[in-house]
Structure 1
Amino acid sequence: MTDETRQPSASATPPPLPPHLSAPQAPPPRSDRSLEVLAHLSPVLGGALIGLLLRLAFNGKPGSALATMLWIFILLAPFAIGAVTVYLAERVRPRSNTYHIFAPMLSVVLCMLGSMWFALEGMICVIMVMPIFAVFGTMGGVTMGLICRRAGKSKTPTVYSVVALPLVLAALGVGQEQPQRFEYVERSALIQASPQAVWALLLDADRIRSAEVDRAWMYRIGVPTPLAGLTHQTPTGLVREVRMGKGIHFKQMSSDWSPQRYVRWQYKFDEDSVPAGALDDHVRIGGDYFDLRDTVYTLTPRGDATELKIRMEYRVSTGFNWYTVPLAGWLIGDFSDTILEFYRHRAEAAASA
């Protein structure tokens, strides 16, 4: 055997090292990771941006063609957000059904946060509209996902049509209706106190602490809690001065009452009753979309106790009353339970003292 066959060639490739002895792979540069994260989030950010642009477009006053509380915005804007989110994602690579469902929800949340950041909406409106935005955003995402799978990814005209649809309908005068719905809520509570004691509290409730009433959901989502409600009698009837947080104040007027039996309050708001920024315009009492018509308290003796009943009548005027009327009824019913508990606790505490 020759020396040439016994000695390895200098140009031969050395055998690979075992995996545990291999040099560790260098992590990707931080800039690359940032670009990768941005690529994952870009469809979500794109959908949220479309929602903000539509919100800026539908920023008109109540009754105008581009008012915010029109169904063509409330229903079609989140649908467009979901459609754009999934379209942008599908152009990169196919996504799962789970992505089509939940990515539009994230876009909707970012859009809502952006509308609050730019002072387009307050927290109360955002919380109240979030469920319907999430549902229709998901519907838009799932619909666009089906279109992309069946007809291919290049569906730019479809996306343009979805985004432009609410604006086109507004220009044509579609969806401008705001039908009025008049509803009421009734609740009752048995209070271990005399009708005289309960009646006195109905007329004068002072130094109301937030902890006494803040379990009501309308206060949890941002409506300021009441501070006091004090009554005086005038030649035309009873007048109850109500003060709430953030400088809100209004009057409850009554020309129909019977001492220790019942009182019917109607609401009177002055121009300065609700300071700017204290409440969202879309949920302001006495506004174009919502109003409390009157509140009736009825006292019925039950032995040594008193049954206190409350009946609150309200108006809702939107193009999607099928959503807002039950929502308003739930909030007002929850408030009614809370205010009855407030009177019960105070009256029974006074009676025991």
Structure 2
Amino acid sequence: MEANPPPEPDENVENSGDAAQAPAVKPRALPFSNWWPLAIGALSGILLRLIFSGEPGGAYAAMDAAFVYLVPIAVGAVTVYVAETKQRRAWSYYVWGPMVANALFVLGTMAMLIEGLICVIIILPLFCALGALGGVVMGAICRATRRRRQAVYSFAALPVLLGFLPTNGADYQRIGTIERTVVVEASAQQVWRQIHDARDIRPEEVGHAWMYRIGVPLPIAGVTQKTPTGFVRKVSMGKSIHFDQVAVEWKENRYVRWTYRFEKDSFPPNALDDHVTIGGHYFDLLDTAYTLTPTGAHTTKLSITMHYRVSTQFNWYADAVATFLIGNFQEVILDFYRRRSQQAS
């Protein structure tokens, strides 16, 4: 018959000779046969996510630093605490257990339709890393003191307490610029034509860009029209996304710069995750410019420059993600125009 788990130690007794008093149990790595600590850790994260359901920029917003930094740490701490009440765990468990629990937590929010695929993929690496940190700290506490229950309560309560604090209108805005260039074996006029008349875009032409791989709907067309107020490029994408690119600078066959214009129905519900919607509280594309420089009779240097905004309390991470995704998109779209221009020549 299996022995009962050891009772919770007296929290009021100082830890003197704890290692000597603990039963000699051989440490083991992550026990996939026992998922209770992982499940309880993941459930604690989901509960905290439900608390952090406030409006962007307000108290208990899911993009608040108190949630992004402290909740995965709390999930890691809860996971290790629950596991340690049954048996001493190895240091490797303090790392991998919380990482798995945080992965289950994030995937659980997606299954409950709280978060979308894009946000899950973007935030998962950060949450796993922070979860491992919380697990190691909690593991060290379990080995060094008997006050483990107070410690885990503190881990869980801290994000709730700090999430209520106002941001006091703090400006977390960061403006970034990304530029890429490609050489096209076609005339500037031909390249210009392809930029302003991109129809019937096939998934195999652009679908390998990482932003589309993680869930952003694929583009369908981008066609420039002359309107009474100037040139406007009509962009349509999957899931009924549509918006305008308004030309604010225009030099025929040489240069165009667009700003973005969105309507109330530009992004239908569930077309994009709320946290990454263009023009939203946390992210925006400010403008896009194409520069065409003839380098020969039938050769053109095509450059794209994009300005974007990220406005989070963890811009060091959000900006790195935006730089990677936008830079990769630019490389793919330039190659798209290169191939279409050369095929049309």
How many pairs align? 315
Which residue of the other structure, out of 64, 69, 72, is the alignment partner of 1:70? Answer: 64
- Are 2:275 and 1:279 equivalent residues in the alignment? no
Matches within 5 A, 1:132-281: 132-152=126-146, 155-173=148-166, 177-281=170-274
Q: Which residue of 2 aligns with 1:98?
A: 92
Deviates more, 1:188-197 or 1:235-244: 235-244
| Gapped regions of structure 1 (runs ≥ 5) | 1-27, 29-36
Q: Does 1:127 align with 2:121?
A: yes
CA distance in 1, matches of 2:86, 2:156: 20
SS in 2 for 1:231: strand
For the residues of structure 2 that align with 1:196 and 1:167, how far apart are their CA atoms?
Answer: 58
Task: Provide the rounded CA distance (Å) in 1 between the counterparts of 2:37 and 2:87.
Answer: 12
How far off is 1:225 after superposition?
0.7
State whether residues 177 and 319 of structure 1, in contact with CA within 8 Å, keep that contact through their aligned partners in structure 2.
no
Give, in whole Å, the separation in 1 of the partners of 2:44 and 2:299.
59
Quick check: 2:174–2:310 contact (8 Å CA) kept in 1?
A: yes
Q: Please tell me whether the aligned partners of residues 64 and 163 of structure 2 are also in contact (alpha carbons under 8 angstroms).
A: no
Percent of aligned pairs with the same amino acid: 51
Distance 1:135 1:310 in 2: 34
CA distance in 2, matches of 1:53, 1:271: 32
**Structure 2 counterpart of 1:52, from 46, 56, 65:** 46
TM-score with structure 1 setting the length: 0.87
Separation of aligned partners in 2, 1:187 and 1:120:
35
Q: Is the 8 A contact 1:100 1:141 kept in 2?
A: yes
Aligned residue number for residue 323 of structure 2: 329
Pick which of 167-176 and 257-266 moved more.
Answer: 167-176
Residue 171 (structure 1) shift: 2.5
Q: Is the 8 A contact 1:79 1:139 kept in 2?
A: yes
**SS at 1:319's partner residue?**
coil
Contact 1:59 1:68 (8 Å CA) reproduced: yes
CA distance in 2, matches of 1:233, 1:349: 26
- Residues in 1 aligned to 2:329 and 2:177: alpha-carbon distance in whole angstroms: 13
Distance in 1 (alpha carbons) for counterparts of 2:168 and 2:87: 37
Q: Which residue of 2 aligns with 1:294?
A: 287
CA RMSD for the aligned pairs? Answer: 1.5
Measure how far apart 1:175 and its partner are.
Answer: 9.1
Residue 110 in 1 paired to residue 112 in 2?
no
Q: In terms of Rg, which structure is larger?
A: 1
C-alpha separation in 2, matches of 1:54 and 1:222: 25
Matches of 2:36 and 2:168, distance apart in 1:
32
Q: CA deviation at 1:40?
A: 1.5
Please give the residue correspondences for 1:36-51 in structure 2 after superposition, counting only pairs within 5 Å: 40-51=34-45
Q: Partner of 2:339 in structure 1?
A: 345
- Distance in 1 between residues matched to 2:166 and 2:156, nearest whole Å: 17
Please report how far the alpha carbon of residue 255 of structure 1 lies from its aligned counterpart in structure 2 after TM superposition: 2.9
Q: Deviations over 1:58-93 (max 9, x none)?
A: 011102111111111001000000000001001101
Q: Could you say what secondary structure the match of 2:34 adopts?
A: helix
Secondary structure of the structure 1 residue equivalent to 2:198: coil
Q: What secondary structure sits across from 1:40 in the alignment?
A: coil
Listed as ranges, the gaps of 5+ residues in structure 2 are 3-30
Length-normalised TM-score, structure 2: 0.89
Distance in 1, matches of 2:118 and 2:169, equals 23
- Secondary structure at the residue paired with 2:217? coil
